[in-house]
A and B are shown apart, each in its own frame.
Chain A
């Protein structure tokens, strides 16, 4: 009995100290506390917003060592939604994201540079439309803590701007709409 309790205690402390050091988080896709949104100018007169509904990913974060953080996100490009069936179909076609040929987009961080209190530039490789390029996500830490259901959560938001032509999207939407802003807003559940 004592042995068992001791073993459980030792194992428990090993596990908890392990998680405390690694601080690995899985993006809460299941509870839908995570968004990959895009925003592009329409003719220079307004913003068009859309989202990718289907993605998952992980990140690691330790506030004492923010530069050791890592982010990995994989999304299904065909899950894009801008609330307009014909536009979405067109965006999935070879004119834009060619989602049947390139069903996945990925982001893998390579370097995190702290830029201030709770902010960082996350460099990484973004693969989109079959093209891999380095991008920098300007991210900020929103908050962390216990959730009401016995877990521990942390959340970030980051933005980056891509030129469409850099990712092989040659269809012209006009001079005001040559780049798109991506927002990654995620909440992770600590493992």
Chain B
């Protein structure tokens, strides 16, 4: 598989970044819901949030890389059989997914840093608090984090179902392309 994207297929970097972020989005969502219900004496009470934040920061780095890479090697052209409506919907949908992911990442960051404390990443280094002390920062960011995360996950499921629909019903290369497969000759 090629590294870079080309006009008709995704390269290795884009494919890997896509699936890593997809995995992380669902994992973080489940972890987030689970960890906020832990009791004080659970052995995960401290480790689960630490893991959630560390993975979140990692995803933020991956997303920055993803945007950078997308600018460097633009995504391939839409599949020729896609109608203009499908093209428009997928453009808007992908845009919303990016916005949703960044919103959840940033709001999560703003919860933990609301009182000026940084975020430790796997105990290796710390991301400093850049914005703290806004009025009700942790609570507002917390509400945004919760509801946008739900929206994002629902939207990501629709995104996945759309890909399956293209694969099964339309029998086109949409899903295969995201797995790095070469286009049909």
Q: Which residues of A contact B (CB under 8 A)?
A: 78, 81, 83-86, 88-89, 92, 100, 171-174
A182 to B117, CA, bound (A): 26
- Cross-chain contact of A81 among B41, B113, B115, B139 (Cβ < 8 A): B115
CB-CB contacts below 8 Å: B114-148 with A: 114-117, 132, 136-139, 142
Interface residues of B toward A: which range? 10 to 19
- Residue interface mask B98-118, A partner, CB < 8 A = 1: 000000000000011111110
Do residues A85 and B139 form an inter-chain contact, with CB atoms below 8 A? Answer: no
Give the distance in Å from the alpha carbon of A83 to the alpha carbon of B117 in the complex.
9
CB atoms of B41 and A89 under 8 A apart: no
Knowing A85-B113, A89-B142, the reply to whether A78 touches B39 (Cβ < 8 A) is no
30 contacts between A and B (CB under 8 A): A78-B136, A78-B139, A81-B115, A84-B115, A84-B117, A85-B111, A85-B112, A85-B113, A85-B115, A85-B116, A85-B117, A85-B132, A85-B137, A86-B49, A86-B112, A86-B138, A88-B114, A88-B115, A88-B138, A89-B111, A89-B138, A89-B139, A89-B142, A92-B139, A100-B139, A171-B40, A172-B39, A172-B41, A174-B40, A174-B41
| Residue among A84, A85, A100 with max Cβ neighbours from chain B (10 Å) | A85
Report the bound CA distance from A88 to B136 in whole Å: 11
Which residues of A are found within 8 Å of B116, using beta-carbon distances? 85
* Bound complex: CA A100 to CA B142 (Å): 13
Verify A83–B115 contact, CB threshold 8 A: yes
Contact partner of A85 (CB less than 8 A), chosen from B39, B40, B41, B138, is: B138
Q: A61–B111 Cα gap in the complex (Å)?
A: 43
With a cutoff of 8 Å between Cβ atoms, the chain B residues found around residue A84 in the complex are 115, 117
Interface residues of B (CB under 8 A from A): 39-41, 49, 111-117, 132, 136-139, 142
In the bound assembly, the distance between CA atoms of A65 and B137 in angstroms comes to 46
Q: What distance in Å separates the Cβ of A118 from its nearest Cβ neighbour in chain B?
A: 37
Please give, as numbers and ranges, the residues of chain B lying within 8 Å of A92 by CB-CB distance.
Answer: 139
Closest chain-A Cβ to B84's Cβ sits at a distance in Å of: 46
| Least Cβ–Cβ distance between B85 and chain A, in angstroms | 43
Give complex CA distance A81, B116 in Å.
12
- A173 near B139: Cβ-Cβ < 8 Å: no
Q: Which 8 A-B pairs have CB atoms at the shortest separation, nearest pair first?
A: A85-B114, A85-B115, A89-B138, A85-B138, A173-B40, A89-B142, A86-B112, A85-B112
Cβ contacts under 8 Å, B111 to chain A: 85-86, 89
Provide the residues of chain A in CB contact with B139, threshold 8 Å: 78, 89, 92, 100
Q: With the chains together, A85 CA to B142 CA distance in Å?
A: 11
CB distance from A86 to the nearest CB of B (A): 6
Residue of A whose beta carbon sits closest to that of B133: A85
CA distance A89 to B142 in the complex (A): 8
Which residues of B have CB within 8 Å of A81? 115
Measured CA separation A83–B112 after assembly (Å)? 11
Contacts of A171 in B (CB 8 A): 40
Q: How far is the CA of A86 from the CA of B116 in the complex (A)?
A: 11
The complex places the Cα of A85 from the Cα of B108 at a distance, in Å, of 12
Q: Which residues of A contact B138 (CB under 8 A)?
A: 85-86, 88-89
Q: Which residue of B lies closest to A171 (CB)?
A: B40
CA distance A176 to B21 in the complex (A): 42
CB-based nearest A residue for B116: A85
A86-B111, A100-B139 known; 16 new pairs, CB 8 Å cut-off, are: A83-B115, A84-B115, A85-B112, A85-B115, A85-B116, A85-B132, A86-B49, A86-B112, A88-B115, A89-B114, A89-B138, A89-B139, A89-B142, A172-B39, A172-B40, A172-B41
